[in-house]
Structure 1
Amino acid sequence: MSGVLRLKADLYIHVLDENTNTVRLVQGPQTYTRKQNETIVSEPKKMILVPPRHYCVIRNPVLRKDNKIILDEFQQAKLKWGDTEIRFESTEPFPLYPGEELSGKIQELINLPVAQALRLRANRDFKEIIKKKEVPRSAGDEWYFFGPNTYYPRIEVDVIETVKSTVIKPNTALKIKARRNFVDRKGIQRRAGEVWLVREEGDYLPDVDEIIAGSVRAFVLTDKKALHLRATKSFKDYLNIDRKAGEEWLVTLDMTETYIPDVYEEVVGQVSKITLTTLQYCVILDPFDENNKQRIGHKELRKGECSFFLKPGEKLEKGIQSIYVLAWEEALLLRCIQPFRDETEKKDRIPGETWLVKGPIRFIPPNEVDVIEKRKSIPLDENEGIYVRDLETGNIRSVIGKTHMLEANEELWKKPLPQAVEDILNSESGGKSNINVEFQESKLSVNRAKAIRDPTRVITYRVPHNSAVQIYNYQNKTSRVAFGPDLVMLDPDEQFTVLSLSGSVPKRPNVIRTISLSLGPDFMTDVLVVETSDHARLSLQLSYNWHFEVDPKNPNDAKKIFQIPDFIGAACKAIGANIRGVVARTKFDDFHKKSADIIRDAVFGRDDSEKPNPTYRFETNNLVITNIDIQSVEPVDKNTLASLQKSVQLAISITTQSQEADAKQDALRREAQAKARLERQEIDDQIKAEEKRKKLLELRAESAAVKSMGTAKAEAKAKAEAAMIEGRAKVKQAELKLQAAEIKTKTEIENMKSQFKLEFEQQKKMNQLKIAKTKKMADIEINKFKEIVSSIGKDTIKAISQAGPEVQRQLLSGLGIEEYFLDPEKSPLALLGLTEKK
């Protein structure tokens, strides 16, 4: 750097004197000539100018006394090392002495608006002058600097934060927490960690020792909503009521419209009002009494119409229940659970007692009563019934053909049935033929999936026509037989007799299970294996026609048909034994020639005159075999059967070859016919193609003609359209003229109608006037006659009437009557009441 330095008015430099090892300040405006023993320590710097309402912080500031800089013995400015100084706006710029430093940038003073404050903390002890009073501050003290104002910072004070006021809106509150022990603005002693609410609406600026822990919104209470609260600590609530820790209560609309829970109040939830109609009631467990004390273990019955809130600890036993509205055919079965006085029947009830309340009635069960069930009268037709058991005696009876209401000591009894009987009753084929086992078994498998019967209903079974059912009473050890068509109804101690019959072909035992026995006529088929005297074994398929001969009116005869449980198996075995015995004495050739006669003789036998018997009768159960049908006779021996099969196969082969030849001939004939049809179709297609080609040429010629005649045709078409338009216009004109004529005619007709109507009204009024005139004239004549009569007087008229006909004539002439005839009995004078009655 050169020895001469020109400094402007706003520049300064620091110069080191190497002889004294001191640094001095050189500020402009001047021309500085550097000496040989001097060194310029810093480049020329601009002086610091603090604008209005700004400040800067200087580290290691110089010491001043009476606004003068204090110099040490070396003529160097003394500094407050490690300290800072705040300098505010200055009219002139100032330099930084050697050792001084600018901390940061020049900052603007803090302008606090309304409802804001600065939280300040003292970093050393000092005294602050507030309103001409000294206020001592100790290190660590905190306080607020409130707006609206401008804050001038101090070295002894640190700005912690800017605090803004919080707006407390309607139905809200601020939750405040104490930083340390202090006395709040209301004069209340607060402890560190204590929490409270501020409820006053408006701006709220918390104190230095207060922390805003949050806000609390009020609960809006309605007539249908209440607030359920729980105290977390013993305190006095906002409504000035003492609360104990753990206590629960409700706040309703009757207390306040809105409620802000206190810090020691826990909101359990909102409670809805329970509303009961006239047809509802409820039972409350653990209710509160009039003194607001809870009665644990008690119940309270409340009936509608009413509305209430469930208090904390109260519960609904079964929710809101509907009143039992019983019709005449309904009843309630009740059981007493606590002794009480039944005011309805004026009777004391003891626990365990049961009774019925019958309709029609509206019934609300008391707390001492438990409703077991609701019962209805069971309407029964003449062919319907139910099983009823008496709970006191245990007797079971059936009620049939009348409407029955179960008493308090009665219940419906479920009658058990064997599974076989259940399957038969549920089957659509129950009670039909005992022989068609394949159909019956398939139906049973399907109908087992159907709806199961009601076991409390009296079991009914419609016995099919020409069938019989045996019913056994295991209590009386007796049985009865019912013949179809009939409806059987089982008593509680009765059961059906299940028949297990042989079935299938050949017959196998226990194939058919049924409760109805068909009386026939019917048939059964069986397969027998017999052996002739020359040891030829044959398989016979036979069908027997049978029926039962029974008198339904004879009980012993009716029970006889059930003597043999499996009459089919027994009959087939007996007939088979007879046939085997006869065939065993016959040779194969003889049997082959006379098989039908031999089998019939074996079954039916012959009488004394060697004539075949017509029937074969089983005396045990009155079963009668009426006919036998031989369906097939086949040898059992394989060789014999093979020979027969070969002959049959040879016949089948011959037939097959003949059919094949016929089929080939037919195929050749059909092929020739198809070829002929194909050739004919080709010729027809060629003819059609030529016709289409001809039509194409004609269309081309027509197209050329149309093209050449297009202009002429268009002109002709235009002229035709013009003529058509003109014709349409004329037609339209004629239509309009016609419409005008119609309108004119209608107008004339309306005018004539109006004229006729007016004339009619006029004539009608004239006639009314004439009638009125005539009526008035008649009234005048009547009045005239009355006045004449009154002027003559009764006595005069009486004297004249008694004077003779001439006087009467004069009298009547005087009355204005010229022609007259007097009836002695019906004289006008008599009519006027002037003659004496004789």
Structure 2
Amino acid sequence: MADINSVIRIKPHQYIHVLDNNTNVTRVEIGPFTFTRQDHEKVVAGPEPMIMIPLRNYCTIANPVVRKDDGALVLDEYNQVKLRHGDEEIRFSQDPFPLYPGEKLVGKVTALQIVPPMRALRLRALRDFTDNKVQRVAGDEWLYEGPGTYQPRIEVRIEEEIKSTIIAPNQALKLRANKAFTDRTGVVRKAGEEWLIRTVGGYLPGVDEKVIDTINAYILTDKKALHLKAIKSFTDESGKARKAGEEWLVTSADSETHIPDVYETVVGEVPITTLSNRQYCVVLDPIGTTGKPQLGQKELRKGELSFFLRPGESLERGIQNVYVLNEQEALLLRAKETFTEGTTNHLAGDRWMIYGPTDYVPPVQVDVVEKRISIPLDDNEGIYVRDIKSGKVTTISGRSYMLKPNEELWSMELEKTVEEILVKDNNNPEFADNRDKTRVVTYRAPHNSAVQIYDYKEKKSRVVFGPDLVMLGPDERFTVLSLSGEKPKRPHMIKAIALYLGPDFMTDVVIVETSDHAKLSLKLSYNWQFTVDKTKKEDAAKIFQVPDFVGDSCKAIASRVRGAVASVPFDDFHKRSAEIIRQAVFGTQENFAFTSNNLVITNIDIQSVEPVDQRTRDSLQKSVQLAIEITTKSQEAAARHEAEKLEQGARGRLERQKINDEAAAEIAKKELLELQAQSAAVESTGQATAEAQATAEAQAITAQSNVDQARLRAQATKIRAESELLLIKQKREAELAYKKQLDDLELQRQRELSTIEAKKFKQLVDSIGQETLKSIAQSGPEMQAKLLQGLGLSSVMITDGSSPINLFNTANGLIGGAPKASKKF
């Protein structure tokens, strides 16, 4: 009896490996089978399930067995199955099979890879082999394009899955060759070469092609063009040869869209330049008929016109408007080069003017210097005009003036001191900054004043007396007076243009010393005026002979006053200071005249006399204070007496007023007590009355509210009942209306159906026809009669033998029938 452990039940689709220790050969036993192990045998593997490969799957077997052409196993001299050690084999869907000793399953059973449309597998040959009569060498690469199911091979490795690139309309695919090859279209490509695929749809790049980028097309319109530049020499899509560095434009007239070639670079988009009928422009370096830029040349283009600036072209000053001149305007032109305009020959540098009214477009040889407008000038206005040829400056005023081609406005520069004086006298702080220097300088001479103007060209002066308007010529300047000011007088403190003729006054402080050496400070005021005959030119110029008449006159008067005061003592001068000073200045005359400039001092006013020495000032101050103190004390005593008198009277009135106030207070107190008693009585009575009235009103309100509540409750009940009744009524009416409508619809449907059936039957009868119906009705009996006649029977009755038949009437027909033979079935 065999050992239980030596019996192995191998189920279907299972196998074991058995080692024969005698021969040292391992064999395979396949189920279903009950294997009894002998003593010299050993089960080295199993039971193991067979390898099952479903449809559309595969597996890889390492160290596969060697088979003959008919599939039989190849055994060695020891009856051991031969193996291809180090090799692999791919097996596809087949019957379950076992693994022979030495074979191994690499990985697991895998589904075959499905390559969808628009995709491909990039394959690489690992060893030399022949594929469908195609010799593959190790390292070769090729594509397996879908749709399809890829059958793997040991000699081939999948490098990657490649997807098709979708090329949309107005797009292109930029490719680069990894090595020299021939593309799908049969074009030989060199390694590193780049090209575009413009065909719309999906594109699957080959193994030697690399997708660089997807290039979108530029949409070209009537208002936009594309500026392109060639990177290297090539032939573009239109078949035109382009040289490296060449630039050109692509417009909507050439193509609605443009995809830049691999050797084209987009410099930028060029907008259209549009000129109206009132515009023009100058194009620099225009493109000639040869297609090349004419360097250094210019081209004038007038509207209405639309164009694109070609590569190399540019606008000199952009789009400019046509010069529109009215009758008061003109253009100053200058020729940049010699040219002929009409019948006029202009040399380079010539200047001339075009006067309005007109429209003017300057040629490219002409430069517009400026646009001039006729300058309207009043009698009190003027301008400085300079002739650029002679350099002469003239003044134009009192009329409208248009500058000539050889004339220009000239700026009058004034001294800073004069500018400041004009700003101050005109009361305009912005005058100095905003002054139009080409305008004639004007100054309004005030009333009773004189202004001296010096002409440096003629070397003579003139004096204008105010009120008047002074207008400076181009070579004239104001005479600026530098006068003394402040107290005491200091030189060069006042700057002025206008010299006031007076009468006026000036104040000065003079330090004098008496004969007894008392120093005094005198504040003196002088009235002065100029005596001048305005009709005489000599007198007018004489008043400006002394530049600082204030300082000179004050010095002259101060010297006379000091001399007179030095000869008298202090007490004498203190008593009759005015007489001494007037005598010193005027003497026996009524005034003090300066013959050098006709200045006359008409009066002297002594405003104050103060000692300079401190001791003199203190003693004088003490005497003044003593006099003031005596006067003050007397005034205080009188005031005190008057105050005491007033105080007594006020005290009496106060006492009398107190008594009257106390009596009035007692009367008011009595009235107050009476009113308080009355108010207490009224308060108690009013409170009781108010409580009673409030209680009565509260009860009345409660009763009324109960009544209102009951009435409202009854109304609510009534409304609720009526609403329910109305709802039921409306519900019944709606149901009745609904049933009525249903019945009407059913009647209408039956009526229409009957009508349809009648029409159908009538149409059927009409279509068949009366004769046809008649024939159909008669066809049955006639056919029966003919059948009986054909059988030789006059009548026949057929029964199944189970149903009863009334033979009374039938027999009558049979007995009295024809003498022909009858049959009954």
Write the letter of the residue equivalent to 1:641: R
Partner of 1:107: 110
1:382 equivalent in alignment to 2:358? no
Q: Distance in 1 between matches of 2:390 and 2:350?
A: 16
Partner of 2:366: 369
Q: How high is the TM-score relative to the length of structure 1? A: 0.75
Partner of 1:146: 145
1:778-793 equivalences in 2 (<5 Å) = none
From the superposition, tell whether residues 35 and 504 of structure 1 become closer, same or farther in structure 2 (CA, over 3 Å): farther
From 40, 48, 60, give the equivalent of 1:57. Answer: 60
The DSSP-based 3-state class of the residue aligned with 2:399 is: coil
Q: Distance in 2 between matches of 1:698 and 1:621?
A: 110
Whether the 8 Å CA contact 2:423–2:431 is kept in 1: the answer is no
Q: Distance in 2 between matches of 1:27 and 1:696?
A: 132
From the superposition, tell whether residues 190 and 700 of structure 1 become closer, same or farther in structure 2 (CA, over 3 Å): farther
Q: How far does the alpha carbon of each residue in 1:452-479 deviate from its partner, in whole angstroms, 9 at most, with x for none?
A: 4221111111000111111111222211
From the superposition, tell whether residues 135 and 475 of structure 1 become closer, same or farther in structure 2 (CA, over 3 Å): closer
The DSSP-based 3-state class of the residue aligned with 2:334 is: strand
Write the letter of the residue equivalent to 1:619: T
Whether the 8 Å CA contact 1:60–1:101 is kept in 2: the answer is yes
Q: Distance in 2 between matches of 1:77 and 1:120?
A: 33
Write the letter of the residue equivalent to 1:90: Q
From the superposition, tell whether residues 60 and 379 of structure 1 become closer, same or farther in structure 2 (CA, over 3 Å): same
From 621, 628, 643, give the equivalent of 2:604. Answer: 628
Whether the 8 Å CA contact 1:426–1:452 is kept in 2: the answer is no
1:76 equivalent in alignment to 2:52? no
From the superposition, tell whether residues 349 and 429 of structure 1 become closer, same or farther in structure 2 (CA, over 3 Å): closer
Partner of 1:601: 583
Partner of 1:179: 178
Partner of 1:306: 305
Partner of 1:124: 127
Partner of 2:518: 536
Partner of 1:481: 463
From the superposition, tell whether residues 43 and 649 of structure 1 become closer, same or farther in structure 2 (CA, over 3 Å): farther
Partner of 2:259: 260
User: Aligned pairs, how many?
Assistant: 672
1:579 equivalent in alignment to 2:557? no
CA apart distance, 1:650: 8.4
Q: Percent identity?
A: 56
The DSSP-based 3-state class of the residue aligned with 2:601 is: strand
CA apart distance, 1:73: 2.9
Q: Distance in 2 between matches of 1:636 and 1:17?
A: 157
Write the letter of the residue equivalent to 1:113: P
Whether the 8 Å CA contact 1:423–1:448 is kept in 2: the answer is no
1:214 equivalent in alignment to 2:217? no
1:614 equivalent in alignment to 2:590? yes
Q: Distance in 1 between matches of 2:472 and 2:553?
A: 31
Q: How far does the alpha carbon of each residue in 1:720-761 deviate from its partner, in whole angstroms, 9 at most, with x for none?
A: x9xxxxxxxxxxxxxxxxxxxxxxxxxxxxxxxxxxxxxxxx
1:67 equivalent in alignment to 2:71? yes
Partner of 2:388: 391
Partner of 1:323: 322
Q: Distance in 2 between matches of 1:12 and 1:703?
A: 123
CA apart distance, 1:698: 11
Write the letter of the residue equivalent to 2:555: K
1:466-477 equivalences in 2 (<5 Å) = 466-477=448-459
Partner of 2:617: 641
Q: How far does the alpha carbon of each residue in 1:171-218 deviate from its partner, in whole angstroms, 9 at most, with x for none?
A: 111122223222223222222221111112223223333222222211
Partner of 1:520: 502
Q: Distance in 2 between matches of 1:45 and 1:2?
A: 17
1:288 equivalent in alignment to 2:287? yes
CA apart distance, 1:144: 2.5
Q: Distance in 1 between matches of 2:488 and 2:65?
A: 139
From 10, 15, 40, give the equivalent of 2:13. Answer: 10
The DSSP-based 3-state class of the residue aligned with 2:121 is: strand
Whether the 8 Å CA contact 2:58–2:109 is kept in 1: the answer is yes
Write the letter of the residue equivalent to 1:276: L
CA apart distance, 1:228: 1.0
1:564 equivalent in alignment to 2:546? yes
Partner of 1:497: 479
Whether the 8 Å CA contact 1:529–1:539 is kept in 2: the answer is yes
From 445, 451, 454, give the equivalent of 1:463. Answer: 445
The CA RMSD over aligned residues, in Å, is 3.5
Whether the 8 Å CA contact 1:428–1:447 is kept in 2: the answer is no
Whether the 8 Å CA contact 2:420–2:432 is kept in 1: the answer is no
Whether the 8 Å CA contact 1:427–1:448 is kept in 2: the answer is no
Partner of 1:545: 527
Write the letter of the residue equivalent to 1:427: K
Write the letter of the residue equivalent to 1:381: D
Write the letter of the residue equivalent to 1:76: Q
CA apart distance, 1:429: 6.4
Write the letter of the residue equivalent to 2:480: V
Q: How far does the alpha carbon of each residue in 1:18-64 deviate from its partner, in whole angstroms, 9 at most, with x for none?
A: 55554443443344455555554446432221111111111111111
CA apart distance, 1:252: 1.0
The DSSP-based 3-state class of the residue aligned with 1:155 is: coil
Partner of 1:711: 698
Whether the 8 Å CA contact 1:282–1:317 is kept in 2: the answer is yes
Write the letter of the residue equivalent to 1:106: V
From the superposition, tell whether residues 650 and 374 of structure 1 become closer, same or farther in structure 2 (CA, over 3 Å): farther
Write the letter of the residue equivalent to 1:321: Q
Q: Distance in 2 between matches of 1:417 and 1:62?
A: 121
The DSSP-based 3-state class of the residue aligned with 2:375 is: coil
Q: Distance in 2 between matches of 1:377 and 1:314?
A: 38
Q: How far does the alpha carbon of each residue in 1:565-596 deviate from its partner, in whole angstroms, 9 at most, with x for none?
A: 11111111111111101000010000111111
Q: Distance in 2 between matches of 1:592 and 1:643?
A: 14
Write the letter of the residue equivalent to 2:348: P
The DSSP-based 3-state class of the residue aligned with 1:69 is: coil
Q: Distance in 1 between matches of 2:572 and 2:5?
A: 168
From the superposition, tell whether residues 626 and 706 of structure 1 become closer, same or farther in structure 2 (CA, over 3 Å): farther
From the superposition, tell whether residues 47 and 523 of structure 1 become closer, same or farther in structure 2 (CA, over 3 Å): same
Partner of 2:412: 415
Q: Distance in 1 between matches of 2:97 and 2:224?
A: 73
Q: Distance in 2 between matches of 1:48 and 1:700?
A: 119
Q: Distance in 1 between matches of 2:692 and 2:606?
A: 94
From the superposition, tell whether residues 161 and 525 of structure 1 become closer, same or farther in structure 2 (CA, over 3 Å): same
CA apart distance, 1:644: 4.5
From the superposition, tell whether residues 331 and 706 of structure 1 become closer, same or farther in structure 2 (CA, over 3 Å): farther
CA apart distance, 1:640: 2.3
Whether the 8 Å CA contact 2:10–2:33 is kept in 1: the answer is yes
Q: How far does the alpha carbon of each residue in 1:75-129 deviate from its partner, in whole angstroms, 9 at most, with x for none?
A: 32221111111111123x2222222111112111122233332222222222223
CA apart distance, 1:710: 4.3
Q: How high is the TM-score relative to the length of structure 2? A: 0.76
Partner of 1:508: 490
Write the letter of the residue equivalent to 1:287: P
Q: Distance in 2 between matches of 1:526 and 1:636?
A: 16
After alignment, is 565-574 or 73-82 more displaced?
Answer: 73-82
From 85, 92, 98, give the equivalent of 2:101. Answer: 98
Q: Distance in 2 between matches of 1:696 and 1:563?
A: 107
CA apart distance, 1:351: 0.8
